[in-house]
Structure 1
Amino acid sequence: MNEQINTPDNQQIKPKRTIRSFVLRQGRLTKGQEQALTHLWPIFGIDYQSGTNIEFNLSQPTVLEIGFGMGASLVEMAKAAPNKNFIGIEVHKPGVGACLMAIEDNQLSNLKVMCHDAVEVLENMIPDNSLDKVQIFFPDPWHKARHNKRRIIQPKFVNLISQKLKSGGILHLATDWQHYAEHMLEVLSNADAFTNLSPTNDYVPRPEDRPITKFEKRGQNLGHGVWDLQFIRK
C-alpha cells in the first residue's frame, strides 16, 4: 500500500485531546481488504493533509459520514443518490478496506473515504459553511457512567460541526442506546446554532434515506430501540 493512509497508530504522540472521534481497536485485515487498501486507495481514498481542502464536485450537495463501520449503508446511500457527494471517515482499516471494495463493486464515482481522526479532518480540511449534511450513526455509546465523557457527541464537537455545515444543513444522529439518545438530545437542544426538526422537539422517525443495517436489525431482534435525531443549522 502506498504510504498515504495516516492512521492514529503511526502519528507522533500529541498532547491529550478533549475530543476524540474514535478509540482505535485492533482488527485483522482480510486479503481482499488488504488488496483494496493497496490498489483502490489511490482512486477512492483521500489523504489527510492539514491545510488542504477536500476537492469534490462543488455543484452537488456534500454529505459527510463520521464512523461508517464497514461502509455498507454509506455505499447504499451513495448509490441511491448519484447527485450528491459523499465523504466517509473511518479509522479502522478493515472497514475502510471493505468500503473501498464495495465502492469499486458498485462503480461509484460520488463517494470518497478517509482514514483519520474526524476532528482533525473537520478542523483542517473541511471549509466552513461547505457541508450540506453530517451524519453519525451508532457511535460508541460508552455506556458506563465513568466513560460518558468519551462520547463523541459533546458541545465542543457539535459546535465544530455547526461551523462546517451550511445554513440549512442537517446534522443526523442515530443510536440504539436510550441514555445516549437522551444525551444527544440534551447537547443538541442546547446548541444555539441548531433547531430540532422533530415536531415534538425530541426524535424523528427513521428517514427513508437511512438504510437499516445488519447491526441495527440484530439489535431490533433483541428488542433494542433506535432513536434518530435531525437538527438543522440556522
Structure 2
Amino acid sequence: MVSEQPSAPARRPKGEPRFPGGPVADPAGSHHERRIRSFQPRRSRVTTGQGEYLERLWPQWGLDIDGQGTLDLDAMFDGLPVVLEIGFGMGEATAEMAAADPGTGILAVDVHTPGQGNLLGLAERGGLTNVRVANGDAIILLREMLPPQSLDGLRVYFPDPWPKARHHKRRIIQPDFLTLAAPRLKPGAVLHCATDWEPYAEQMLEVLNAHPAFENTQADGGYAPRPGFRPLTRFEGQGLDKGHVVHDLLFTRVAELPAA
C-alpha cells in the first residue's frame, strides 16, 4: 500500500500579505517605475515572534504606502510633532529614540519585513505609542501621501551607499529627493543624515550644501558631531568594527522655499 504524500502548501497569491492583516508586498505597485527608490529589497527569514507581531499589531500601528490618499498625521499621532525616518533596519535605534522622546512621533519607513515585525514588538513591549511603521517606498509617501509642511524632521541613517560608480545614481540623497522632501518639512525642520561610507558622506555634504532649501547647522559648512539623541545603530557598530568613520550631517529647512 502506497501512503499518500502530503500536498504542497498552496502558493500565496501575488500581492497578498505574507501574514494575515500584515504588510503588503509593493503596496503602491511601484516596481515598474523606472526611478530611484528609497530602498533595496532584501529577503530575510521572519521569526515566529516577528510574524506574530506583524499579524497582531499591523492593523493598529502599521501602514502600507499605497499612494492612495493624504495621511492625517495629527490624527495618527494625537497631535505630536512628527519625524519621518527612512530605513530603520531592525528598529532598535528607532525604539530607543522613541522611548527617550515620547513627545515626538516617529513614522518609520522600511521594506524589511523582519525589521518591521521586530520594531512592532519593541514598541509594544516598551509601551511606545509614538511609533508607526510604514511599509513601502518613502518616495511615494513623500510625493503622494504627506501634506505640505507636515513633518518636523527627516532622518536618513546609513542608507545604501551604492559604492560602484555606475550605481551612484541610485543613492537616495540626491537633488531631486531634497526638492521633493523640502515642501513636506516645516520651516526650521531638521534633516539629519548619517553614513559610515566616506565617499557617500562627501557626496551628501556637497549636495546638501548646494541645495537652496537647506542650510547647514555647522558654521564651517562641514559635518556635525553626533547628536546625543541618535543612538549607535547596528549598521554603525558594524562600520566602526571595520574602522570606518561615521559622519553626521545636520541641515535645517529654510523659511522660504525658492520658486520652482
Determine helix, strand or coil for the equivalent of 2:60.
helix
Unaligned residue ranges in structure 2 (runs of 5+): 1-18, 255-260
Alpha-carbon distance in structure 2 between the residues aligned to 1:213 and 1:190: 28
Q: CA RMSD in A?
A: 1.6
Alignment partner of 1:40: what SS? helix
Verify: 1:122 aligned to 2:127, yes or no. no
Task: Give the letter for the 2:131 counterpart.
Answer: L
Tell me what 1:64 maps to: 84
1:5 alignment counterpart = 23
Unaligned stretches of 5+ residues in structure 1: none
CA distance in 2, matches of 1:48, 1:83: 24
Bigger CA radius of gyration: 2
Instruction: Name the structure 1 match of 2:58.
Output: 41
Q: In the alignment, does 2:104 pair up with 1:84?
A: yes
- Per the normalisation by structure 1, the TM-score is 0.94
Query: What is the CA distance between 1:219 and its match in structure 2?
Result: 2.0
**Could you tell me how far apart the structure 1 residues matched to 2:55 and 2:120 are?**
10
Q: TM-score, normalised by structure 2?
A: 0.85
Q: Which amino acid is the alignment partner of residue 203 of structure 1?
A: Y
Q: Deviations over 1:97-129 (max 9, x none)?
A: 111110111011111111111111111221111
Task: Please give the secondary structure, in 2, of the residue aligned with 1:173.
Answer: strand
Q: Does 1:28 align with 2:48?
A: no
Aligned to 1:152: 172
Aligned mates of 2:144, 2:172 — CA distance in 1:
18
Q: Greater relative contact order (Cα 8 A, min sep 6): structure 1 or 2?
A: 1
Distance 1:15 1:59 in 2: 36
Deviation at 1:11, TM superposition (A): 5.7
- The farther-off stretch of 93-102 and 215-224 is 215-224
Q: Deviations over 1:150-172 (max 9, x none)?
A: 11111111111111100000100
2:231 to 193, 211, 223: 211
Residue by residue over 1:73-92, the C-alpha shift from the partner in whole angstroms, topping out at 9 and shown as x without a partner, is 00000000011111100111
Pair 33,159 (structure 1): closer, same or farther in 2 beyond 3 Å: same
